[in-house]
Amino acid sequence: MARLPLEGVRVTDFSWIGAGSYTTKLLADFGADVIKIESSTRLDSLRSTAPFKDRVPGVNRSGYFADRNTSKRSVTVNMKHPRGQELARALIARSDVVANNFTPGTMEKFGLGYEDVRRFKPDIIYLAMSMQGARGPDSEFVGFGLTIGALTGLQYLSGSPERIPAGTGTNYPDHVPNPCHAGFAVLAALHHRRRTGRGQYIDFAQTEPTIALLGPAIVDYTANGRIEERSGNDHPRAAPHGVYPCLGEDRWIAICVMHDGQWRRLAEALGRPEWSAAADWSTGEGRRADRRRLDRLLAAETAKRDPYELMLLLQRHGVPAGVVQNAADLVARDPQLTHRGHWLRLEHPEMGESIYNAPPFRFSRTQVALSRPAPLLGQHTAEVLGGLLGMPCEEVAALAAEGVLV
Partner 1 sequence: MSEGTAASPAALEGIRVLDAAGPMGAYCGKLFADMGADVILVEPPAGSTLRREPPFIGDVEQPESGIAFTYCNTSERGITLNLDEARGQALFLKLCATAHLVIETEKPGVMARRGLGYAQLAAATPAIVLTSITPFGQTGPYADFESEDLVGLAMGGLLNMMGDPDIAPTRAGGNQAYAMASMFGAVASMLALLEAQQSGAGQHVDVSMQECVVMALENAAQFYDLEGTVRRRFGGAQRQAGTGTFACKDGYVYIFAGGMAAVRFWGNAVRWLIDGGAPGAEQLEDPRWSDIGFLDSAEAKQIFSGIFGPFALRYTKAELYYEGQRRRVPICPVSTAADIAGNRQLQHRGFFAQVMHAPSNRALTMPGAPYRLSETPWRIRRPAPRLGEHNAEIYGELGVEARELRALARQGVI
The answer to whether 71 touches 28, Cβ cutoff 8 Å, is yes
Residues 124-183 that bind partner 1 (CB under 8 A): 132-133, 135-139, 141-144, 146-160, 163-172, 175-177, 180-183
Looking at 59, 90, 217, 297, which residue binds partner 1 (CB under 8 A)? Answer: 217
Residue 385 Cβ vs partner 1, minimum distance, rounded to whole Å? 29
Q: Within 10 Å of residue 183's Cβ, how many Cβ atoms?
A: 18
Q: How many residues bind partner 1 (CB under 8 A)?
A: 160
Q: Is 105 in the site for partner 1 (CB under 8 A)?
A: no
Q: Which of 14, 110, 244, 275 binds partner 1 (CB under 8 A)?
A: 244
Give the footprint of partner 1 on residues 280-339 (CB under 8 A): 315, 318-332, 334-337, 339
Which residue in 109, 221, 292, 387 binds partner 1 (CB under 8 A)? 221
Q: Which of the stretches 33-41, 75-83, 92-100, 188-196 binds partner 1 when contact is defined by CB under 8 A?
A: 188-196
**Interacting positions 334-373 with partner 1 (CB under 8 A):** 334-337, 339-340, 342-343, 351, 354-355, 357-366
Neighbours of 379 (CB within 10 A): 21
- Cβ(394)–Cβ(85) below 8 Å: no
Residue closer to partner 1, measured from CB, 90 or 176: 176
Site for partner 1 in 245-284 (CB under 8 A): 245, 250, 252-254, 256, 258, 262
Between 220 and 306, name the residue whose CB sits nearer to partner 1: 220
- Residue from 58, 90, 116, 203 that binds partner 1 (CB under 8 A)? 203
Cα Dmax for the chain: 86
Q: Which residues contact 374 (CB under 8 A, 6 or more apart)?
A: 65, 66, 67, 68, 69, 70, 72, 348
Tell the smallest beta-carbon distance from residue 397 to partner 1 (Å).
32
* Distance in Å, CB of 11 to partner 1, minimum: 15
DSSP secondary structure letter of residue 7: T
Contact indicator for 25, 65 with CB cutoff of 8 Å: no
Indicate if 334 belongs to the active site: no
Residues in contact with 137: Cβ distance below 8 Å, sequence separation at least 6, in sequence order: none
Which lies closer to partner 1 via its Cβ, residue 286 or residue 386? 286
Minimum CB separation of residue 270 from partner 1 in Å reads: 16
State the nearest-atom distance from the C-beta of 276 to partner 1, in Å: 18
Task: Look up residue 54 and give its DSSP letter.
Answer: G
Q: What is the DSSP string of 62-116?
A: BHHHHHHSTTEEEEE--TTSHHHHHHHHHHHHT-SEEEE-PPTTHHHHTT-SHHH
Using CA atoms, how far apart are residues 82 and 30, in angstroms rounded to an integer? 33
Strand partners, 344: 356
Among 54, 248, 390, 401, binds partner 1 (CB under 8 A): 54
- Residue pair 87/389 in contact by the 8 Å Cβ criterion: yes
Q: Is 374 in the site for partner 1 (CB under 8 A)?
A: no
At what angle are helices 307-316 and 260-269 packed, to 10 degrees? 130
Which of 111, 232, 286, 386 binds partner 1 (CB under 8 A)? It is: 232
Using the rule CB under 8 A, give the single segment among 2-10, 104-112, 372-380, 394-402 that binds partner 1: 2-10
Return the residues of window 9-48 that contact partner 1 according to CB under 8 A: 17-18, 26, 30, 45-46, 48
State yes or no: residue 216 binds partner 1 (CB under 8 A). Answer: yes
For 228-281, where are the E strands, in sequence order? 241-245, 252-256
| Closest approach of partner 1 to the CB of residue 374, in Å | 11
- Confirm if 36 and 74 have CB atoms less than 8 A apart: yes
Q: Which residue of the set 33, 44, 174, 295 is catalytic? A: 174
Helix (H) or strand (E) holding 313: helix 307-316
Q: For partner 1, which is the closer residue by CB, 49 or 106?
A: 49
* Residue positions annotated with a catalytic role: 174
